[in-house]
Amino acid sequence: MTDTATSLLDAVTVPEAEGRAIPDAATREIIGYAPNHTVDDLEAAIVRARVAQPPWNALGHAERSRLLNLVADEIEANAEELALILSREQGKPLDGPNARFEVGACAVWTRNAADTVLEPEIVFEAGESRAEIHYDALGVVGAIGPWNWPMMISVWQIAPSLRMGNTVIVKPSGFTPLSVLALVEIFNRHLPADVLTVITGERGVASRLAAHPDIDKIMFTGSTPTGRKIVESSANNLARLTLELGGNDAGIVLPGTDVRAHAENLFWGAFINGGQTCAALKRLYVHDSVYEATVEALGEIARSIPFGRGTDAGNVIGPLQNEGQFDIVKRLVDEAAAAGGRVVAGGAPAPEHGPLFFQPTIVADVSDGVALVDEEQFGPALPIIRFSDVEDAIRRANDSDEGLGASVWSDDRAAALEVAKRLEAGTVWINSHGGLNPQVPFGGTKSSGYGQEFGVAGLKGVAAPKVISY
Task: Please tell me the least confidently modeled range out of 4-18, 90-104, 197-211, 272-286.
Answer: 4-18
Residue range 170-176: average pLDDT?
97
Confidence label for 7 from pLDDT (cuts 50, 70 and 90)? confident
Confidence label for 60 from pLDDT (cuts 50, 70 and 90)? very high
pLDDT of residue 2: 42
Show the DSSP H helices in 59-148 as ranges: 60-77, 79-90, 99-115
pLDDT at 1 > cutoff 70:
no
Superfamily of domain 8-245+448-469: Aldehyde Dehydrogenase; Chain A, domain 1 (3.40.605.10)
Looking at every residue in the chain, the average pLDDT score rounds to 96
**Cα 305 off chain centre by:** 23
Sign of CA dihedral 83, 86, 91, 97: negative
pLDDT at 336 > cutoff 90:
yes
pLDDT at 108 > cutoff 90:
yes
With beta carbons less than 8 A apart as the criterion, state whether 94 and 15 touch.
Answer: no
The active-site residue out of 244, 376, 402, 453 is: 244
pLDDT at 176 > cutoff 90:
yes
pLDDT of residue 202: 76
Contacts of 40 (CB under 8 A, 6+ apart): none
Cα 165–230–424 angle (5° rounding)?
90
Confidence label for 203 from pLDDT (cuts 50, 70 and 90)? confident
Q: Which class in CATH covers the domain with range 250-430?
A: alpha beta
Residue range 11-28: average pLDDT?
96
Active site residue 232: no
With beta carbons less than 8 A apart as the criterion, state whether 210 and 228 touch.
Answer: no
Residue range 241-267: average pLDDT?
97
With beta carbons less than 8 A apart as the criterion, state whether 298 and 362 touch.
Answer: yes
With beta carbons less than 8 A apart as the criterion, state whether 272 and 96 touch.
Answer: no
pLDDT at 317 > cutoff 60:
yes
Comparing C-alpha atoms, which of 167, 177, 208, 236 is closest to residue 40? 208
Residue range 101-120: average pLDDT?
97
Residue range 275-287: average pLDDT?
98
Backbone angles phi, psi at 223, to 5 degrees: -75, 155
Fold match, 8-245+448-469 / 250-430: no
Contacts of 257 (CB under 8 A, 6+ apart): 287, 290, 409, 410, 411
The CA-based dihedral angle spanning residues 438, 245, 33, 91, taken in that order and rounded to the nearest 10 degrees: -70
- CB-count exposure of residue 235 (10 Å: 0-12, 13-18, 19+): exposed
pLDDT of residue 236: 86
State pLDDT tens for residues 214-246.
999 999 999 999 999 999 999 888 999 999 999
Residue range 183-204: average pLDDT?
95
pLDDT of residue 85: 98
pLDDT at 338 > cutoff 50:
yes
pLDDT of residue 452: 96
pLDDT of residue 204: 87
Confidence label for 259 from pLDDT (cuts 50, 70 and 90)? very high
Cα 100–26–375 angle (5° rounding)?
85
Domain boundaries, the chain: 8-245+448-469, 250-430
